[in-house]
Chain A
């Protein structure tokens, strides 16, 4: 299936290559560079590129292109999903998936890639298994290794792959047994000019951090499970139990993982926690325009809206902006034409406002369309859909775990058209 993998950075250097079958020359990447050039923007590089003898399937993550070489028919999503899993694994191992991290840990990277694919077909992709095979680097371990000459490769052979719970390693032991669940909801919305909602939906995930000894069997129930319209599960979840009782019952993997992701049924009205008042206008036949934006809270269930950031892709004709903000700081990058306004927390008494003059290129025609505003925000301790965890029960182990649930609501792709 997957023949080879090339990692390419933004400046077009191939800094890692790995072949699972016979070697494919680096020159195959020229087709990729060609496509990249044509696409102008990195975001627009087509994920699938045909070449005379191969097919290139690529993903772009964290400023790195993962370009895989395929020779025969294969479901493209299969490859894409796998490449993302590779990037996730790097992230998991090195804390970041960057060129430097990969270059610094090239041996571990190579060992990982070796374990993840055999002859181009995925072999071990579960983080728990991989961590048993190849220990992730830590500062302490690298010190110890350099002194004792021992290595990152686990000397005990992994058992996880052989058990019928392939996602959990055996013999886990903690002194503090903890289970944390983060219910994170993102609001995707398009708000039109007049402030009415064109489209809004809530996408949520439950990320878990489980540090429990032994083989705990957990069941997590919700106060209002019917809210969850469409759910995708980590493989550990017993599907039938959910089908019949709407209870998440599972033996968790060790460590961090995404338990479920869900979408809240579109019939439910989505409460939009902020509103934006905007006045953006460009004057005909003059090289200036006005810009005035105010952000205010609404329907936020008494919680503070924090971490508010607004980014605007201004039209190309904009030369510069002279603005004053009542709160937070703003920057305008004259090259990319991106205006970023870091607002911070919204206090309802004094609404943050940003206004001033937009300077346009002289002679250029007035931009026809006002730019849309992308808003980011965060609300702690609130799941906007109203989803609530009811209880967490543990079976199979004797100790009493410490349990915690955190709710957070964020803006996903939240766009205000002006």
Chain B
């Protein structure tokens, strides 16, 4: 740099004469005389800046930035620099901006010179230039320009470019810190930007919200769902801010999911209710009132944040972890632990923060981190702060089962060269000893061994801990006290000496011979002791005087005399106090009678607690939590409300119409539309692999409709700015592009979405449309195509649709509750096609990329959807014979429907028959004996079964993709029977549809080990294709893949539990043989399936 400076100053010199005149009036003000040593150097910088050559200007700017970076004052160059703000050279311009942001605050008047340049740039056609102008304008912190900034922000907030809007959101915070009086106006802008649908803006505007008006929670309601769905696509920093904000929001809006926790929390899956048969439904209805039902919006938040646990950004992972900690039902919070443990592999700062948070979590819920116990083992190379935190966590996690391993581990730590850590370990052992009574003695013995340690710190710490331990159970530890009394000669650490003395004093009656002797020894060394020790000597003396005055009277008086003339007033004070209390004289008051009670009162044992105990009232992951004190601007996490505020607040515009109607209909029904809306959108996501993008688009469309319709929405007025609508227009253009590529899916999702909101467009439907509408809501692909047509035909006439919306809505609403039974039954018929289980199978693309992918000629996205079963087997299996069941018989069969209880479960229909002549009451499932990993969702108890009556109930079993047997007890009022269900391998599958191309592609990826094949003889009557298909789908729940060749038949399915593909190919060869090939990752099931399919084709 210095070299450059020289050469350039020559250049500058040449340029100087021409510009000397201009340079003169801008001479530095007197204030900068302080830096006169720099003036000379700065002089040539000035000249360079005045030069006409860009290169020398640039060089001067670079040197100036260098000065700023080093913290040197360069403010006297302000006039020379600010002139260059309009430079054409981008780099010079940028560096001038850097300079302006640093010094404008100090040179406000001169800074005004640059404003007009920015104002011009704000109108530039290039969005990036507009954005950067806004950025600099808002960064220069000159109060005079507040009105200009305000205007610029307002304008930018309705800019067409989301990037400019993002910068506007940033500018809001800057303006607010410059002039808090603008708050009201700024809130308006925030409100507007919160409605923005761009992922680019979301993070920044929430940041602005948090800074300007974190208490205006009402602004969030309408945007809550949008924020939740957009979250995955927001950039990582924005995600952190949004998650923290939503955590706070959720705590004010939803009721606590923790109350009845570990019991049966009825999840919000309303489908459950729908699928039940009617008499069960009544039961359920009553139950729902009692049990907690999670608000669907609450669930939405939890579900949409979960994938973010996989983020590479530690801050995002931590944010999600704290969200789950503060919001999720306790049973679900466990999923975050794995990700948090993963963060421990990161650098030490991240480890430090994460360990702190884990420490707090592990106090309250041990179980969360117990499986990861070993991840917290300490390495000798860890920094001390990390070591102590790990130790803290290990101590929190200690329980009866793992304490022996832990103590062994602690033994290694105690010997650590890091003595501070060794001392912390001893305390940890002490805490384990008090918490787990089984090991108290072991620990105590171990600690006593440590007393002979060579290191003083270790010994001292042990003494202190032993003292605390003995206090909890003093009964039989005379020996240890004696041992410690002996140690007193060698220990010099005051705390340890004091502890020993206190112990001897406290239990002096147990060591009657030693105690006076100890007093004698310490009395000798009294004057040389530490204050802490002196106090304890006085205490010891007093206690001995009270219990054994014969031997110790003189000694005590001697000690008291020493204390009387001690230098420390504390000790003099204590001496005086003790003397008055214990030594009887004429002046002594009433208290001396109680001296013994005062000194030798039973003292409660100290609680050995984690230092992290106190932190749990801070929100996890915050600065305040780390510091354990309230940081500036910390926002308390409110307690859950007793009663949740109206969830309808979060309904977006379209749903607001609903609200109006439901108000008319009375409050009880209010929740219905919202819930329905919600559960649908869930399904929609699952089914069509449609994503937040499409969702938000369809949302925006409906919003647009609303505007056209000119309904009296409160908010549509304020939101219908030009920017907003043009934005949504461009969105819908995009979506139009999408429609061409995937018309069916797109309109499907849109369609169901609209319906979900209660905007049933089917104007001409008769009153029976209710059940049908709802059935198509359940999105059977067949019925959908029908409704697709309708929605397509109607899309051209929004006016009509809108009016029909108003007409239809109340009808549906009014009827829904009354007709519930019918409604539910209808749904039951349709339930085979509704497939909540399809989620993993169908979810193919991440939202932001759909658009990109569709532009590609060779789409990488194979559309694999779970479909309806091709064939429902009638074969039933016996569960319980009536003889062994004392008249109760049970059969089961596999309905081949996606299970309603959980997406990984196989649904099983159990038919229970009463063959006795008495009523059998309370048939239910008792104890389950399931192999590891398997789960089972039993049927609801049957209250009573009439003689000769039979009833079919459904249950779900997660077989973990294995043919292991699920054994459980079928219980009645009086009896219980052990029964078991073993699934044929063909029932562990769910059929999927895919194109032949996709099939081949997938098959190509599943070769080698993953392929099983066999050649079989095919019975002649089986060689026609319909027969083959029929036989195969009968044997296993497979979907048929269209095939181009006659002699090859393809079938595809996914395993229910893991969603692995199972591809079956039957290729007919000559001379009535066939090649049977199965490709799957699950090789075990594959080979079993192969074995089972062989006879199917070969037998007649």
Contacts and interface: CB of A to CB of B under 8 A. Distances in A.
Interface of A: 1, 14-19, 21-23, 26, 41, 43-44, 46-48, 50, 55, 58-61, 70-78, 80-82, 84, 106-107, 109-111, 114, 118-119, 121-123, 125, 149, 151-153, 155, 157-158, 161-162, 164-166, 188, 190, 192, 198-199, 201, 203, 215, 217, 219, 221, 229-235, 237-241, 243-245, 249, 251, 258, 261, 263, 266, 313, 315-316, 365, 367-369, 371-372, 374, 390-391, 393, 395-396, 412-413, 415, 417
A244 B841 contact: yes
B927 interface: no
A275 B499 CA distance: 46
Contacts of B353: 47-48, 76-77, 80
Nearest to A373: B380
A75 B621 CA distance: 6
Choose among B129, B318, B455 the residue with the greatest number of A CB atoms under 10 Å from its CB. B318
A243 B843 CA distance: 8
Given A230-B339, A390-B1005, A118 B167 contact: yes
B626 A48 contact: yes
Interface string B584-600: 00000000000000000
B621 A415 contact: no
Interface in B344-358: 345, 347-350, 352-354
B844 A369 contact: no
Contacts of B848: 164-165
B90 interface: yes
B173 interface: yes
B71 A239 contact: no
B235 interface: yes
B237 A199 contact: no
Contact of B342 (A149, A230, A234): A230
A17 B71 contact: yes
A231 B384 CA distance: 29
7 contacts: A14-B71, A72-B633, A111-B94, A121-B204, A149-B53, A230-B341, A374-B381
B1025 interface: no
Interface string B50-83: 0001110010001001101111000000000000
Contact of B173 (A47, A119, A151, A390): A119
A235 B126 CA distance: 28
Given A244-B841, A396-B857, 17 more contacts: A21-B174, A73-B622, A73-B631, A73-B635, A84-B350, A110-B69, A111-B95, A121-B170, A122-B237, A190-B379, A201-B375, A231-B310, A371-B380, A393-B860, A396-B860, A412-B345, A417-B412
A267 to B, nearest CB: 10
A413 B348 CA distance: 13
Given A80-B350, A121-B207, A395 B860 contact: yes
A309 to B, nearest CB: 14
Contacts of A81: 313-315, 350
Contact of B379 (A46, A192, A413): A413
Nearest to A218: B860
Given A232-B342, A251-B849, A396-B858, A22 B385 contact: no
Contacts of A59: 347, 349
Contacts of B318: 75, 77
The residue among A157, A258, A313 with the most chain B CB atoms within 10 A of its own CB is A157
B845 A75 contact: no
B624 interface: yes
B532 interface: no
B627 interface: yes
B379 A203 contact: no
Contact of A111 (B66, B98, B383): B98
A213 B97 CA distance: 35
Contact of A73 (B341, B377, B412, B623): B623
B557 interface: no
Contacts of A192: 412
Contacts of B380: 313, 371-372, 415, 417
B315 A22 contact: no
A374 B342 CA distance: 22
Given A73-B635, A231-B310, A240-B846, A369 B232 contact: no
B381 A240 contact: no
B632 A23 contact: no
B1059 A158 contact: no
A18 B69 contact: yes
A111 B633 CA distance: 30
A282 B304 CA distance: 59
A234 B312 contact: yes
A47 B352 contact: yes
Contacts of A18: 69
Contact of B174 (A119, A238, A372, A417): A119
Contacts of B94: 111, 114, 153
A78 B313 CA distance: 9
B40 interface: no
Given A151-B58, A230-B338, A77 B627 contact: no
A76 B377 contact: no
A297 B345 CA distance: 26
Contacts of B182: none
Nearest to A151: B91
A371 B418 CA distance: 11
Nearest to B618: A73
Question: Ordered nearest first, which 4 A-B pairs have the shortest CB separation?
Answer: A72-B633, A149-B55, A238-B846, A151-B91
A217 B853 contact: yes
A75 B54 contact: no
A182 B1011 CA distance: 28
A255 B696 CA distance: 33
B435 interface: no
A215 B307 CA distance: 25
A72 B632 contact: yes
Given A118-B170, A365-B454, A369-B416, A244 B844 contact: yes
Given A48-B626, A77-B318, A119 B89 contact: no
A316 B313 contact: no
B141 A15 contact: no
Among A43, A153, A245, find the residue whose CB has the most chain B CB atoms closer than 10 A. A245
Nearest to A200: B374
B630 to A, nearest CB: 9
Given A162-B127, A190-B379, A125 B237 contact: yes
A125 B135 CA distance: 17
B139 interface: yes
Contact of A190 (B89, B237, B377): B377
Contact of A263 (B70, B237, B342, B689): B342
B746 interface: no
A84 B314 CA distance: 11
A313 B132 CA distance: 53
A46 B98 contact: no
